[in-house]
Each structure stands twice: as C-alpha cells, then as structure tokens.
Amino acid sequence: MSSTPEGSSKAKGRPAQAKGKADRPAPAPAPTQQPTGFKSGFACFVGRPNAGKSTLTNALVGQKIVITSSKPQTTRHAVRGIVHRPDSQLILVDTPGLHKPRTLLGQRLNDLVKSTWAEVDVIGICLPASDKIGPGDRFLVAEAAKVAKTPKVALATKADLVEPERMLEHLTQIQELGEAAGIEWAAIIPVSATSGFQVDLVTDELIQLLPDGFALYPDGDITDEPEETLVAELIREAALEGVRDELPHSIAVTIDEMGLREDRPEDKPLLDIYANIYLERDSQKGIVIGHKGARLREVGAEARRQIEALLGTPVYLDLHVKIAKNWQTDAKHLRKLGF
C-alpha cells in the first residue's frame, strides 16, 4: 500500500543522501592549537521507560532527532544529538529505558544502555517529577553508581506536570536516593522539555562537566544518525500512535530503498521511500492496516509529513506490512532488523 503526496508541497532542495555507518561524518579537523577553554564530550540520558529522555534530547538539540511516544520503550538504539556553542560541543546520547527484560530484544537494549554508561563523560539520570520514586528508579541509580568515576546529574523531568510542593518533595527524594546509592550528585535540576523550563540550565551544567577538547563534529551537524534510520524511526513513531497492549513492542520498520526519483526537474524533487512495517503475528496486521487500509494510510500520511519536515523535500512513501514471527525473541530476526 502506498502513501503518496497529498496536494503540492512548497519544500525545496534536495535531501542529503542517506548515510551508512561507514559514511558517518568524520570528526571536524583538529586545529593546530587547542582553543582556550573549549569543552567537548559525551553525555547520556538514562531512566526508566517513558521518563522523558527523548523529549529532553530533542529540546537540547533544538530539533527533533529522536522519536517520542506515550508508549514506553520507544527508543531502541543509542541516538546521538549534537549541541553546538562557541566555546563547546556537547554530544548527547539518548538510550533506551532500562527495564526488566522479557525478550532477547529487551536484554540487548539493557546491555546497550550499560555499555553506553561506560563510554560517556557525564550521566544524566531522568527521574520524572510526575511519578513517585519506585523500585525501578532505585535499581537504575544503584546500577549507575557502579560507574563510579563518571559525574552524574539528576534531572527531575516533566516539571510542568506538578505543583511546587510536589517538586520540593521529589527533589528531596532524589537527594536521598543518591545518598543511599553512594552518589554525590553534581547537580539536581528540575526541567521541562515541553515548556522549555531550565532546558538551557541543563545544557550549561552538562557542558561544565565535560573535559577540555576540540570539536568532534562539523558545525551545523545535529546528529550522526543515517537518514535512512531517521526515516524508519519516523514511520515507526506514526505506526505506534493509537495501538494498544503489546503491539507497540511488536512493531519494527526497515527501509528497502530510498532515493531521489530520476528525471525530475531540479526545483521539483521527489524522494521515493519503500519501507516495511514488521509485526510478530498475522492477527496484528488488521490493527495496523485497518478497515480497507484506512489505518495504514493514516500512518503513511503522518510519517510523510514528518519526513518532509525533516528532509525538506516532497516524499512518495510506499509502505508494506510483513510478518517476522516472534522477532523479539529470535536472534536471526533481530540481526535482520538491525538489533
């Protein structure tokens, strides 16, 4: 089933060609003399599923590079976002939510989170103010404490959802949580990515904790994600909306082909994208496709809107729904789907 442009689009210009891992942008050339006081390095956001990590990443970068959803465990790989300042460069790594795994996929996502901790300069632990501190938070903080030498910032996310009295109680609990785990927080910051409250302060604090260094990416780059990966994630985000129960975890997306259509006028480009939405069981197809394909058309229209906004060119999107039986627990399927 295809999802084609509806009406005319005023977006102009060609998107950059999709990049594979081997084609990721090379680090910016090192200057002959280190700039005085320039800081650069990596920080990661960790937390339970649906703790606001991805929304906060997008807010700091200033553009959407990570998909978001009300469904937990939306993020499935480490996504790098890049924040540029005249005196610094901060690379943010958004990771999947740490959780009790029920599948091979879940275990691999947890392994990815913990391996990321060991490679960054700062760990930002997201503890949403809208939720009470629970066993999952205590487990997460205890695990982070094992990375003893890496500074840790506690982020009381979703600050816009609570009253000041509740926030004060939450900040006290965060302090006690750190003390119980043997963590001395570098800072505890209430923040709302949705309203923008103290987003710049979070950036300031993370940069302050980075080592001196050089720019690692060229000025203007906001992520090192290949465009095909970004497009697949936007399609998955559109497919996630409106589904229920276990289905969100059963959805995966791959890109078969992506490229500018030939023989088009230069001022009227069209990007062809052929993608597959994978599910685990035949019984799930009807939910995603909908009556006479209505649901799949909605998914295609929303995904196309987001892709056109990201790449700045009209898009022809062709979607197909396929079955990879029990792919979350099948190592062969996980490899095929990029996990």
Q: Which residues pair with 189 in a beta bridge?
A: 155
Does the annotation place 94 within a ligand binding site?
yes
Does the annotation place 114 within a ligand binding site?
no
Does the annotation place 159 within a ligand binding site?
yes
Does the annotation place 50 within a ligand binding site?
yes
Alpha-carbon distance 162 to 87, whole Å?
34
Does the annotation place 200 within a ligand binding site?
no
Q: Which residue bears the tokens 């404490």? A: 145
Does the annotation place 256 within a ligand binding site?
no
Would you list the DSSP string of 50-102? Answer: TSSHHHHHHHHHTS--S---SSSS---S-EEEEEEETTEEEEEEE-PPP----
Structure tokens at 220: 């203007």
Does the annotation place 332 within a ligand binding site?
no
DSSP code for 233: H
Does the annotation place 51 within a ligand binding site?
yes
Does the annotation place 254 within a ligand binding site?
no
Does the annotation place 160 within a ligand binding site?
yes
Alpha-carbon distance 339 to 255, whole Å?
14
Alpha-carbon distance 49 to 57, whole Å?
14
Does the annotation place 206 within a ligand binding site?
no
Does the annotation place 49 within a ligand binding site?
yes
Does the annotation place 7 within a ligand binding site?
no
DSSP code for 313: S
Decide: 288 and 279 in contact? Cβ < 8 Å: yes
Does the annotation place 238 within a ligand binding site?
no
Decide: 225 and 63 in contact? Cβ < 8 Å: no
Does the annotation place 96 within a ligand binding site?
yes
Would you list the DSSP string of 146-210? Answer: TSTTS-EEEEE--GGGS-HHHHHHHHHHHHHHHHHHT---SEEEE--TTT-TTHHHHHHHHHHTS
Annotated binding-site ranges for GTP: 47-54, 94-98, 157-160
Q: Which residues are annotated as a binding site?
A: 47-54, 94-98, 157-160
